[in-house]
Chains A and B, each alone.
Chain A
């Protein structure tokens, strides 16, 4: 049996190894992904993001329990940051979800961000495809909401949850222009803590101020939860279902969304490959090193150098 077939038949080892190959950029993995693509597009993808310590993993753990009770199978991708100094990472999200590890209907995988050239967005997207092709009903992607990569990842989800905790106060305003804009559902976790009402109000105000944007569109609900006590978790899942219904209820909306998603994914993929191939060519060339030396001596400015190099590259093509 080929790897693709083993994946679609739910072979855990094959799935685990394929995701590793994707992460390590083994060329063969791409071939398998090509074969798997027709089997994808069935899973519902939920992205969960928020600052470290807000309770994302605990929430995922509780969601797993509820979804499993409802007879759904779930794949989880938990992304943690790579140390920029050593290139290593401690992937600890699993600690909170370990009680599901013996459940055949759950597949949990930790992934590291692997730095700027790690291609996290691409490898996560491919890993989502693998879990989708494996036959999981839901794929939950958990990331620390700090960088653009992380925002991109949750944006490739059907429904994006932003998890916050009380006490962030004015920080919400600061965050507004970033990650908060991609949320389909807001969750104020640890809602038994002081200031929960205030956080809910701040969020509500933020959503209300964007009224134009939400006219005739999905308006993000703001929910409270205490994930560790399983409070508010079912309500979160209900909202996810509502959002799903919203996305799929109108065929027009459905196909527009799909068009945008496919377009976004393909654009990213092309961009990644151009960066990887063309940039590597340039950086490894002698002219690049020469230009660097000249710029350091102030004999050449970086703007001219950039124009010259890019123009030359476009003319000559890649090897």
Chain B
């Protein structure tokens, strides 16, 4: 009856960072916005994140990092998506990052970076404006 596609998002925490409160709040926020959110849990390697994203056929990956390894982990996810021919999946990141890293992350293919204090409404709005559910 209803043929409207739903936005599917993977929320993942790559690396050895165990602080998932932010990721959980984001997952909950996305759910309340009507998205289907796959949560893959803590301590994921970039390979695992990408494999999960492909199996789940998500439109976007939201990476969370508070432990400082984002300069390796985030670009690696983008790289692996490219290798697998799945670079139509949008990647964005949230967490605590030194100011000077943000342009570098964007250059590496992370579409947007959200830092502490970003209103949840804006995070949802960004997804609605920038992530389209796959059309074919």
Chain A 20-58, CB-CB to B under 8 Å as 1, else 0, gives 100111100000000000000000000000000000000
Q: Compute how far the CA of A269 lies from the CA of B84 in the bound complex, rounded to whole angstroms.
A: 36
Tell me which residues from 52 to 110 in chain B have a Cβ below 8 Å from any Cβ of chain A.
52, 54-57, 84-86
Interface of chain A: mostly helix, strand, loop or mixed: mixed
Q: Compute how far the CA of A25 lies from the CA of B5 in the bound complex, rounded to whole angstroms.
A: 8
Residue A88 lies at the interface, judged by CB distance under 8 Å to chain B:
yes
Q: Compute how far the CA of A82 lies from the CA of B32 in the bound complex, rounded to whole angstroms.
A: 10
Nearest CB in chain A to that of B84: its residue: A13
Q: Compute how far the CA of A10 lies from the CA of B52 in the bound complex, rounded to whole angstroms.
A: 16
Is there contact, CB below 8 Å, between B57 and A91? Answer: no
Residues of B within 8 A of A82 (CB): 36
Residues of A within 8 A of B3 (CB): 24-26
Nearest chain A CB to B99 CB, angstrom units: 32
Tell me which residues from 1 to 59 in chain B have a Cβ below 8 Å from any Cβ of chain A.
1-6, 8, 27-28, 30-41, 44, 47-48, 51-52, 54-57
Q: Compute how far the CA of A132 lies from the CA of B63 in the bound complex, rounded to whole angstroms.
A: 32
Residues of B within 8 A of A276 (CB): 1
Interface size bracket, A side: 20 to 34
Residues of B within 8 A of A92 (CB): 39, 41
Is there contact, CB below 8 Å, between A88 and B34? Answer: yes
Nearest chain A CB to B91 CB, angstrom units: 17
Q: Compute how far the CA of A313 lies from the CA of B30 in the bound complex, rounded to whole angstroms.
A: 41
Tell me which residues from 105 to 133 in chain A have a Cβ below 8 Å from any Cβ of chain B.
107-110, 112, 117
Chain A 66-104, CB-CB to B under 8 Å as 1, else 0, gives 000000000000000011011111111011001001100
Is there contact, CB below 8 Å, between A88 and B38? Answer: no
Nearest CB in chain A to that of B6: its residue: A24
Q: Compute how far the CA of A35 lies from the CA of B51 in the bound complex, rounded to whole angstroms.
A: 27
Residue A263 lies at the interface, judged by CB distance under 8 Å to chain B:
no
**Contacts across chains A and B counted by CB atoms under 8 Å:** 95
Residue A280 lies at the interface, judged by CB distance under 8 Å to chain B:
yes
Report the interface size for chain B: residues with CB under 8 A from the other chain.
35
Residue A16 lies at the interface, judged by CB distance under 8 Å to chain B:
yes
Nearest chain A CB to B65 CB, angstrom units: 17
Is there contact, CB below 8 Å, between B52 and A83? Answer: no
Cross-chain contact of B6 among A87, A101, A108 (Cβ < 8 A): A87
Tell me which residues from 101 to 136 in chain B have a Cβ below 8 Å from any Cβ of chain A.
133-134
Residues of A within 8 A of B33 (CB): 86, 88
Nearest chain A CB to B135 CB, angstrom units: 10
- Given A13-B86, A98-B48, A101-B48: A89 touches B56 (CB 8 Å cut-off): no
Is there contact, CB below 8 Å, between B56 and A110? Answer: yes
Which chain B residues have a beta carbon within 8 Å of chain A's beta carbons? 1-6, 8, 27-28, 30-41, 44, 47-48, 51-52, 54-57, 84-86, 133-134
Closest 6 CB pairs of A and B: A95-B41, A88-B31, A16-B57, A20-B57, A87-B34, A88-B34
Which chain A residues have a beta carbon within 8 Å of chain B's beta carbons? 12-13, 16-17, 19-20, 23-26, 82-83, 85-92, 94-95, 98, 101-102, 107-110, 112, 117, 276, 280
